[in-house]
């Protein structure tokens, strides 16, 4: 059995690719008993408890905000999920991990150590845009610029790739979840109604758009009145939500200027032809490709299976060891002192 796996360690979900398919896709959350620091459960099981737990149980997203913020919880999660998919492996797996950009060395170590602790034979790290490009089947081996845009839950990454490497990149901590936060803020300000993150995301998925709809669309939203704490409901239209979303999307677009300003003009010139390839769950917001095109004047297309692209590319990168020039490296076990 080929014992290679690729892990996309996202702020929202952890995906593992191996044996030419997605082996696991679970929310990257932990349910923790804060009285005794005991982990109750992880992944999907923990996510299903969200909003329904007593005070002593907290549902934690250790990777939230796009960086690994909790060493112990992250180690635990990575270890648990690798073991979950590799329990029957006879040969120790080679593990490639895609970590969020902006991560610190300490945080990175949590993931690497956890992979070695879960019996990885070798551990590799890959940058998200490189993984996204491989997963999307984009050829960046030529001397031609290719632009990748990944909008996840917590981070947006843009990178210009060429000749198997990264020419320039940039990232911001405004992404898919920022839309939900903006919706919740708007609903509270305009209607005096407090809604949770699950409801805010539902509004985005049901009536969210950046390019508009031809037909009227409204949604009934239930929450708690900010004035008397009692249950209340309101009706919202796509038009008002679209204005809120557009504001956030415009902030996300600023990520392009940093990545493109520092890039060689010849490669940027290629982009008129090759376009922007979009990956990550955030790009599924209705009309996002059109929005990107209008804002940067470069045609944008959403990759097939955008949510799984990074995991697929991370797994496939292990077939390209030696070929990839940048954004991919092997890391040695904890006691070797190498990061
Ligand atoms: N159909 C959809 N329309 C709009 N947004 C969506 C859709 N599906 C998923 N999303 C959003 O995508 C985001 C999660 O994307 P993804 O799974 O790529 O994140 P991640 O890889 O865990 O995060 P990151 O890359 O930032 O670490 C969430 O904000 C979610 O609401
Ligand atoms: Mg991601």
Neighbour order of strands in the sheet with 4-9: 21-27, 13-18, 4-9, 94-98, 122-126, 328-331
Q: 137-174+255-307 belongs to which CATH class?
A: alpha beta
Ligand 1 atom nearest residue 201's Cα = 31
- Determine the residue of 282, 287, 306 to mutate for testing ligand 1's pocket, defined as the one with the most ligand atoms within 8 A of the Cβ atom: 282
Please write the tens of the pLDDT for every residue from 223-281.
999 999 999 999 999 999 999 999 999 999 999 998 899 889 989 888 988 899 999 99
What percent of the chain is predicted at pLDDT more than 90? 64
List pLDDT tens digits, range 154-174.
Answer: 889 999 999 988 999 998 989
Q: Tell whether ligand 1 has an atom less than 6 A from the beta carbon of residue 15.
A: no
3-class SS letters over 264-316:
CHHHHHHHHHHCEEEECHHHHCECHHHHHHHHHCCCEEECCCCCCHHHHHHHH
66 Cβ closer than 6 Å to some ligand 1 atom? yes
Q: Considering only residues 310 and 99, tell me which one the structure prediction assigns the higher pLDDT.
A: 310
Cβ 154 under 6 angstroms from ligand 1 = yes
- In this chain, the answer to whether the domains covering 4-28+64-130+310-336 and 137-174+255-307 adopt an identical fold is yes
| 119, HSE (Cβ side, Cα atoms, 13 Å) | 16
Q: Are 312 and 305 in contact (CB under 8 A)?
A: yes
Cβ of 281 less than 6 Å from ligand 1? yes
CATH number of 4-28+64-130+310-336: 3.30.420.40
Question: Would you state the pLDDT for residue 96?
Answer: 96
For residue 66, the model assigns a pLDDT of 47
153 CB less than 6 Å from ligand 1? yes
Q: What is the pLDDT of residue 202?
A: 97
Q: Taking 90 as the threshold, does the pLDDT of residue 289 lie above it?
A: yes
Question: Cβ(122) to ligand 1 under 6 A?
Answer: no
Give the pTM.
0.92
Residue nearest to atom 29 of ligand 1 (CA): 176
Q: Quick check: CB of 10 below 6 Å from ligand 1?
A: yes
**Domain extent listing, the chain:** 4-28+64-130+310-336, 137-174+255-307, 176-244
Give the mutation target among 65, 152, 181 for probing the ligand 1 site: most ligand atoms within 8 A of CB: 152
Per-residue pLDDT, averaged over 319-338, amounts to 82
The superfamily (CATH) of domain 176-244 is ATPase, substrate binding domain, subdomain 4 (3.90.640.10)
pLDDT score recorded for residue 317: 95
Find the ligand nearest to 66 CA: 1
Convert 77-92 to b/e letters by CB count within 10 Å (16 or more is b): bbbbbbeebbeebeee
């Amino acid at each position: 059995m080929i014992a290679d796996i690729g892990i996309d360690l996202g702020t929202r979900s952890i995906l593992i690719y191996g044996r030419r398919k997605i082996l696991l896709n679970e929310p990257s959350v932990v349910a923790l008993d804060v009285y005794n620091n005991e982990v109750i459960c992880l992944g999907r099981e923990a996510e299903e408890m969200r909003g329904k737990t007593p005070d002593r149980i907290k549902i934690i997203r250790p990777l939230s905000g796009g960086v690994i913020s909790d060493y112990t919880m992250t180690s635990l999660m990575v270890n648990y999920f690798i073991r979950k998919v590799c329990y029957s492996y006879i040969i120790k797996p080679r593990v490639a991990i895609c970590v969020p950009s902006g991560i610190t060395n300490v945080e990175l170590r949590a993931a690497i150590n956890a992979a070695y602790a879960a019996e990885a034979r070798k551990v590799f790290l890959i940058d998200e845009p490189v993984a996204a490009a491989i997963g999307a089947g984009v050829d960046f081996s030529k001397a031609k610029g290719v632009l990748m845009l990944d909008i996840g839950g917590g981070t947006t990454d843009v990178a210009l790739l060429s000749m198997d490497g990264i020419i320039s990149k940039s990232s911001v901590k405004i992404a898919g979840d920022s839309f939900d936060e903006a919706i919740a803020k708007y609903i509270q300000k305009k209607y005096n109604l407090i809604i949770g993150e699950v409801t805010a995301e539902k509004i985005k998925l049901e009536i969210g758009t950046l390019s508009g709809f031809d037909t009227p669309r409204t949604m009934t939203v239930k929450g708690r009145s900010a004035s008397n704490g009692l249950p209340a409901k309101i009706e919202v239209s796509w038009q008002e939500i679209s204005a809120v979303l557009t504001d956030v999307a415009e902030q996300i677009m600023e990520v392009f200027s940093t990545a493109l300003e520092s890039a060689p003009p010849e490669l940027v010139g290629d982009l008129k032809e090759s376009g922007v390839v979009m990956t990550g769950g955030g790009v599924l917001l209705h009309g996002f490709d059109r929005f990107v095109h209008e804002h940067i004047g470069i045609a944008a297309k959403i990759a097939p299976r955008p949510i799984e692209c990074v995991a697929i590319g991370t797994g496939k990168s292990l077939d390209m060891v030696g070929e990839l020039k940048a954004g991919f490296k092997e890391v040695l076990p904890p006691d070797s002192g190498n990061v």
